[in-house]
Amino acid sequence: MLTRGTLIYIAQRLALIVFTLIAVSFLVFITVHSLPGSAFESERVHGKALQLVLHQYGLDRPILVQYWSFLTSAIHGNLGVSFQIRGLPITPLVMRELSVSAELGGTALLITIGIGTTFGVLAAMRQNSWVDYTLTSIAVVGYSVPSFVLAGLGVLIFSYWLPNVTNGVISYPAIWTGTYGTLVELSLPAVILGFYTSGQVTRITRAAMLEVLQQDYIRTARAKGLKSRVVTVRHALRNALIPVISILGPLVISIITGSVIIENIFGIPGLGKEFVESILGADYNVTVAVFTVYALLIGIANLVVDLLYTVVDPRIRY
C-alpha cells in the first residue's frame, strides 16, 4: 500500500506544512503585535509599572527578537504564557481546547459525510421524485442559511421553548472534565455545524452519482446480473466519491471557521471561543498559538484528503 513514492510524497508534504506553519505564525505575530492596545493597559497599571510588566513578558524587545524567542521555544513545544490569565502556560490550554473542538468538529465531519452522501445517493437514485425534491431542498436550506441563524434558532427551541424535553442538554460545562460531552450534548451544535457542509456534500454526491450512473461500466455491471444494491454501492458510489473527496479539504476549513461561530454561541470552551477572546483581550501569544494550530489542522486535513484519493482511485499515484 505505502510505496516508496508515497512515503517520499508524504515527507515532502510534511516539510511543506512545517514551512507553512512558520510563515503563518510569523505573519500573525507581526500583525497582532502591530494592533493598538495591550493586554496590560488599565487604569491601575501605567507608566513605570506598565514598563515593568512589559519587561517581565519580554514585550519591550524588538519584534523580530520576540518572534525568534517564540519560535525557538515553540519548537520545544512551549507556546509561551497567557497575558490575560497571567502566566498560564498556553500549550496545555490550547491542547485542551483543541480536544474539545476536535470532538465537536469530528462529529460535525461525520454528520457531513454520513448524511451528505446518504442524501446524495438517495436523491440521485430517485431523481425527480418527491424524495429527490425533499432532500435537495434540505440541502439548499443547509448551504443557504447562515450557521449563526440556525444556532440562534436551535438555542431558542431547545433551551427556551423545550427546556423540559431536552432536560438542559445544551448547558455546556465550562470546565474540562476529561471528555468534553456526551453524544447527546454534542449533537445540537454538531448538527448545526455540519448542516452547511452536509448540504454541499449532498449536492456534489447527487451530481456525481447521476453522472456515474450513466457510465458504460454501470451498464456492464447490470449486464453481469449484479444486484442493484451492489451496482449502486460498489460500482457507482465508489466512483462518485472521488469528487466528494476533492471538496473534503475546503469542507474541513468550513467546519473550522464555522466552529468559531458555533462555539461562541453555545459557549463551548474550544479553540474557536479562545480565538475570539484572545483577539479581544489582545492576548498575543494565545492568538498566535490558535492561528498556528488552525494552520496545522488544515495542512494535515489536505494531506489526508490527497492520500485518500489514492485509496479510492487507483489511477492516482504519487
Partner 1 sequence: MTDPILEVRGLSTHFFTDDGEVKAVRGVSFGVEPGETLGIVGESGCGKSVTAMSILGLVQRPGKVVAGEIMFKGSDLLKLTKEELRNIRGRDIAMIFQDPLSSLNPVLRVGYQIDEAMYAHDKIPRDQVERRGIDLLKQVRVSDAERRINDFPHQFSGGMRQRAMIAMGLSNKPDLLIADEPTTALDVTVQAQILELLRDLNEQTGAAIILITHNLGVVAGLCKRVLVMYAGEIVEEGTAEQIFERPQHPYTWSLLRSVPRIDANRGHRLLSIEGLPPDLIDLPQGCKFNPRCPFRVERCFKESPPIEQVAPAQHAACWVTMERAYAEMGAGTITDTSPGAASGVHPDGRRALPAAEVPAAVAEAGQ
Question: Using CB under 8 A as the criterion, which residues of the chain lie in contact with partner 1 when the complex forms?
Answer: 215-217, 219-228, 230, 234-235, 238-239, 312-315
Alpha helices in 214-237 (DSSP H): 216-223, 228-230
Separation between Cα atoms, residue 179 and residue 173, nearest integer Å? 11
Residues whose CB falls within 8 Å of the CB of residue 121, separated by 6 or more in sequence, listed in order: 205, 206, 209, 232, 237, 240
| CB of 241 vs partner 1, minimal distance in Å | 9
| CB of 111 vs partner 1, minimal distance in Å | 26
Phi, psi of 217, rounded to the nearest 5 degrees: -70, -20
Q: Could you tell me if 295 and 19 are in contact, meaning their C-beta atoms sit under 8 angstroms apart?
A: no
Beta carbon nearer to partner 1, 150 or 221: 221
Classify residue 45 by its DSSP letter.
S
Q: Which residues pair with 89 in a beta bridge?
A: 81
Beta carbon nearer to partner 1, 12 or 228: 228
Beta carbon nearer to partner 1, 204 or 236: 236
Q: Which residues pair with 81 in a beta bridge?
A: 89
Please list, residue by residue across 193-232, b when 16 or more beta carbons sit within 10 angstroms of its beta carbon and e when fewer do. Answer: bbbbbbbbbbbbbbbbbbebbeeeebeebeeeeeeeeebb
| CB of 225 vs partner 1, minimal distance in Å | 3
Helix, strand, coil tally for the chain in percent (to 5): 75, 0, 25
Separation between Cα atoms, residue 190 and residue 175, nearest integer Å? 19
Beta carbon nearer to partner 1, 206 or 273: 206
Beta carbon nearer to partner 1, 104 or 236: 236
Beta carbon nearer to partner 1, 46 or 234: 234
| CB of 209 vs partner 1, minimal distance in Å | 14
| CB of 260 vs partner 1, minimal distance in Å | 37
| CB of 233 vs partner 1, minimal distance in Å | 12
